A and B are shown apart, each in its own frame.
Chain A
């Protein structure tokens, strides 16, 4: 009772005068608001209602900027017992209720005492609780019991303790009265960002890269003129957020140029600060330019990998037949290439201009967080005009624990330009190539790589024999 009146007496805090928003790529945001508050001396209650509805109540923190010792927080409460018809009726048992209904063209009022709450939680002897739906029963003033009365329901007052909006409430002890600037910070779900890249090839082995930030706000709150920061990195959270967002943005250092965002290293991550204030409205997607790089040398790579993806080949027809080479585009994220900046996780779309000058999409891939000086390798699609056929030409059992196999991979270039094809042959167990017509490189314990240079319209064969022990 005492507290209720305290609430009534509590001043609602003014809106934020300044807001900073740090958005993480895993689907949440850290909100920091500066508010001007007037305190009186002694113990008092402070209420703030206009926070994001997807707030995490345990993440809330408040402190005074003007004077860190201005007040002490005795308690911090997040109240969510919201006003709604069921909540009011459940707390109005024993109170007067009125049902207003029309009867012909007359208004009819049925008034009585509510005997049953529409829903109730009932404990069972085994310790469980269940919620039951009961419906309403009233006793009229003349003693009649009416079941499930119809009509518009009116009550005399909102029962104590019910509130209109989820509310943050602090119990504060202030050393002295006066105006105070306080910073309120909390984590809200429903905020996310991701990076999108566009690579435009010039057809001559170089390309331009543009990075964009796409920002989504479904947190339930709108921030005007907020300072916007984006954090790129894999941040651990105890409860994974429902929506896993891919993305992040990058900033530039070195050859590339960041646009509008200031980048800094923070701990093991990267933080991007938008240099101008931004409005972030509820239910809004916003795109901002993040970085660009020009004349990046890009290498196209054709890869024939017959059993990539099948984890452990079984004896038989695995990886034979016609195989379309995978087309990869590779570049180094360094200053020499016109980049050399942290590239946050995101989708990369690759375009090239056709003869008439209009831009065509070549393919799309996803990159992970990529620091500078690392190689980026994008899978764009499959080759149309370079084809390969693979077959096992021989299989001999040497003894109980070893076999000898021979393979033939034919690679055909049906284009008017020269192409280089990387053929990856994968073997498991303890294997050794005993005969071959091309040199190979052993990339790791399961992979041999043959590099085949093809002139226009040329056809070549890779032929080898492998012995495997297990």
Chain B
């Protein structure tokens, strides 16, 4: 039945005005406006030029010119594609020809196909298995030929097979005429993320630029689409592979005359609309400028954290030896710092100019969705010229359930500039620092922080004794 409807169906005309909302979880919502000429009564409408990564259960179809113009009886996503195998499997009992050459002559073996090359066979246990059978034909003079060779020709494509995955609607139209319909569906293979570039001036300040990076691997291209980006953690029942990115602030007025993004709050999320139409091609990565900040005060921090990452240290050689301090850059995302805008999740690349004036990459880190007035802390790399060595100098058992340990952390600044180093010492259980050669701050129940200021070429030691009960 459907087949006949299909045959009668005309293809809908191409997208007139497309709107693309891309989510940072790796999917997009496509809205296309199309013009349809309907006749009165029941009919089929087929659309085949949709993204190949369409989610067929997400398709919506409605008439914008007249909401009651038609009712949708059925909506189908057909993907029984034409292929040699599919044709042969459906051509059993039909005429088939094998064209082969014999010396200089062309020979045609014609017959009726008796077996499909592959078949699904049910077994008595209720399971199914696919079998490969090969082909058998009966020729017109009643010979049975097994596995004939040659280029295969059939008379027609069996009904129901189509060239491309196709959306087919079974519509009941109240009256004939030209209608404007909106088709919407979700497609995988669309994603966007924020990318930031921070350029340090070497004097404690930096500029930041934010970009939107959009990737289209959905199988479709859209010309002159209205582009929207939704930032926020949107729940979907089946999580797709990629977690995405967030939000951004716009450069006011966009870039140049072309029009940048306009932001609005939508539900618990933010929606960004590009102020000009954009063309999104298949297999393309597109970047559009999103925001800018200037003269942001940025603090460098060197951190020695000997057992960071290990949940619970064991007695013994943990966290000793040479430790290279981690280099962090920190800034506050507020107006005073020249920012004060929502920063969507994304990668941050940090650059600085060298003596010859050319820009060098210092490192890269990932930030989470960061609302305004929050602190941003980036791990840039490890220090080359500031080094530390840590050892446990003593271990004494006080009682069955308590020990006394002494530690020595030597910090060496091999640079010509002064540096401050933050040393994090982590202890577990009920611990008390009983002796120390410099003050510390208890950051949480497991962490003591010592801050050491080093002059150029200076070497300093932190020595302390800790008693732990459990």
Contacts and interface: CB of A to CB of B under 8 A. Distances in A.
B384 to A, nearest CB: 5
Given A123-B54, A150-B151, A235-B362, A373 B412 contact: yes
Given A129-B53, A236-B364, A369 B256 contact: no
B361 A22 contact: yes
Given A74-B256, A127-B55, A236-B380, A267 B155 contact: no
A428 B104 contact: no
Contact of A342 (B349, B352, B385, B403): B385
Contact of B414 (A20, A127, A372): A372
Interface stretch (A269-277, A353-361, A409-417): A269-277
A265 interface: yes
A242 interface: no
Interface stretch (A133-141, A190-198, A314-322): A133-141
A123 B55 contact: yes
B180 to A, nearest CB: 21
Nearest to A160: B221
Given A1-B223, A58-B213, A161 B282 contact: yes
Contacts of B221: 161
A59 interface: yes
B408 to A, nearest CB: 8
A383 to B, nearest CB: 24
B384 A270 contact: yes
Contacts of B359: 30, 32, 185
Contacts of A107: none
Interface of B is mostly: strand
Interface centre among A61, A171, A229, A445 (most CB of B within 10 A): A445
Contact of B385 (A58, A135, A143, A268): A268
Contacts of A268: 300, 302, 327, 362, 380-386
B336 interface: no
A234 B324 contact: yes
B87 interface: yes
Interface in A148-184: 148-150, 161, 171, 173
Interface stretch (B16-24, B38-46, B168-176, B391-399): B391-399
A120 B165 contact: yes
Interface in B309-352: 315-317, 320, 322, 324, 327, 347, 349, 352
Given A123-B53, A271-B354, A446-B392, A238 B347 contact: yes
Given A78-B285, A144-B155, A371 B385 contact: yes
Most B Cβ at <10 Å: residue of A24, A93, A137, A144: A137
B83 A269 contact: no
Contact of B365 (A61, A146, A236): A236
A93 B154 CA distance: 19
Nearest to A127: B55
Contact of B381 (A117, A269, A470): A269
Contacts of A94: 163
Interface string A24-49: 10000010100000000001000000
A325 interface: no
B9 to A, nearest CB: 16
Interface in A197-234: 229, 231-234
A132 B255 contact: no
B355 A75 contact: no
B414 A266 contact: no
A394 interface: no
Given A103-B101, A135-B85, A234 B362 contact: no
15 contacts: A22-B360, A30-B360, A72-B258, A79-B281, A93-B164, A117-B163, A123-B56, A129-B53, A134-B84, A136-B84, A137-B82, A144-B155, A236-B382, A428-B316, A446-B392
9 nearest A-B residue pairs (beta carbon):
A72-B256, A134-B83, A81-B283, A234-B382, A371-B414, A147-B84, A74-B258, A116-B82, A121-B52
Interface of A: 1-3, 20, 22, 24, 30, 32, 43, 57-61, 71-82, 93-94, 103-106, 115-117, 120-127, 129, 132, 134-137, 139, 143-150, 161, 171, 173, 185, 187, 229, 231-238, 264-271, 273, 311-312, 342, 368-369, 371-374, 401, 428-430, 442-446, 469-470
